[in-house]
Amino acid sequence: MPREAEPSLNEKAFVVEALKKDHRLDGRGLDQYRPLDLKFGDQYGVTEITLGKTRILAKVSAEVTVPYADRPFEGIFTITTELSPMASPAFEVNRPTESEVLLSRLIEKTVRRSNALDTESLCLVAGQKCWSIRVDLHVLSHDGNLIDASCLAVVAALRHFRKPDTSMEGETLTVYTPAEREPVPLSWLHSPFCITFSFYGEEGEITLLDATLLEEQLRVSSCTISLNKHGEICQVAKLGGTPVEAVSLLQCANLAVQQVKVFSTFLDQKLAEDSKHRDRGGLLAELSAENAR
């Protein structure tokens, strides 16, 4: 199986010594993220996140299907990830690496298991018909911190997505096209984000945010904290590596709360800008009024 090219001994020594002096190769502070950009596609539910040289594409789709037998009053919500050789030579088609499995599990725990999306609102006819919401996550370019960028892309795509409006007359379900009725947004409860910390040094005493691919290869441990802007923690993932002091984790949690608020404000602003761009001449307000009638 292909592997990422490992940094040389000189690179390792140089980066670690620089971190001990609070310096990073790109000039950022230890608690600073790379430039972040978010673009929406022409269709609802298509987003592209750029974090430094890391690029993530997320696309949301919906279809009417039959709910699970053990959850007749809930819709279906799934997240699939794809790491192709286009993103990195270390990835192969149809051969999930450890990174891909870890990414998929963390995103699923953060978004799906935290009940960020109200799945009961996706039910159309109990036990018979429901909406199936699927998020396809594609890594276009890998330069570190896939978890944070992917989580932001998924949350942005779900909040941007609009599903077709429906109505029930007796036992007849009608799904309207966008030309007939304005699509409606998903029932969204809260916006969780992932914040990943990397630790360096013999005892993990050096902590930094948003590690690049080179920095990820040299870290001795990492920890991902998932939470929303209200400080409600969804999960804490510390998967192996050098043990970290509890005080350090508490400091990381406090820093994560501040960073999540930045992400939340950034996403709200981008969504508002996109909504304003699409609402030319107040057309959305007129269509919403038609739906209300």
Global confidence as pTM: 0.89
pLDDT at 281 > cutoff 70: no
pLDDT, position 104: 87
Q: Are 200 and 218 in contact (CB under 8 A)?
A: yes
pLDDT at 209 > cutoff 60: yes
If one compares 157 and 19, the residue with the highest pLDDT of the two is: 157
If one compares 266 and 5, the residue with the highest pLDDT of the two is: 266
In this prediction, residue 291 has a pLDDT band, given cuts at 50, 70 and 90, of: low
Average pLDDT of the residues of the chain: 87
For the chain, give the percent of residues with pLDDT over 70. 94
In 134-245, which ranges are continuous DSSP H helix? 146-160, 213-218
Query: Which DSSP category does 281 fall into?
Result: G
**Stretch 29-50: mean pLDDT, rounded?**
92
Spell out the domain ranges in the chain.
28-292
CATH number of the domain located at residue range(s) 28-292 in this protein:
3.30.230.70
Main-chain phi, psi angles of 83, to 5 degrees: -115, 105
pLDDT at 282 > cutoff 70: no
Query: Where is average pLDDT lowest: 85-94, 160-169, 177-186, 242-251?
Result: 85-94
Q: What tokens does 151 get? A: 């989580």
pLDDT at 293 > cutoff 70: no
pLDDT, position 132: 94
How many CB atoms neighbour CB 201 within 10 A?
Answer: 15
pLDDT at 292 > cutoff 60: no
pLDDT, position 169: 82
Q: What tokens does 185 get? A: 């947004």
Tell me the pLDDT tens digit for each residue of 104-150.
889 988 998 888 999 999 998 888 999 999 999 999 988 889 999 99
Tell me the pLDDT tens digit for each residue of 216-262.
888 999 999 999 999 899 999 988 788 888 888 899 999 999 999 99
pLDDT, position 46: 94
pLDDT at 285 > cutoff 60: no
Q: What tokens does 91 get? A: 């990835």
**Stretch 159-163: mean pLDDT, rounded?**
93
pLDDT at 90 > cutoff 80: no
pLDDT at 14 > cutoff 70: yes
Sequence-distant (≥ 6) Cβ neighbours of residue 175 within 8 angstroms? 64, 164, 165, 166
In this prediction, residue 37 has a pLDDT band, given cuts at 50, 70 and 90, of: very high
Sign of the CA dihedral running 123, 155, 184, 190: positive
For the chain, give the percent of residues with pLDDT over 90. 46
pLDDT at 287 > cutoff 60: no
pLDDT at 4 > cutoff 80: no
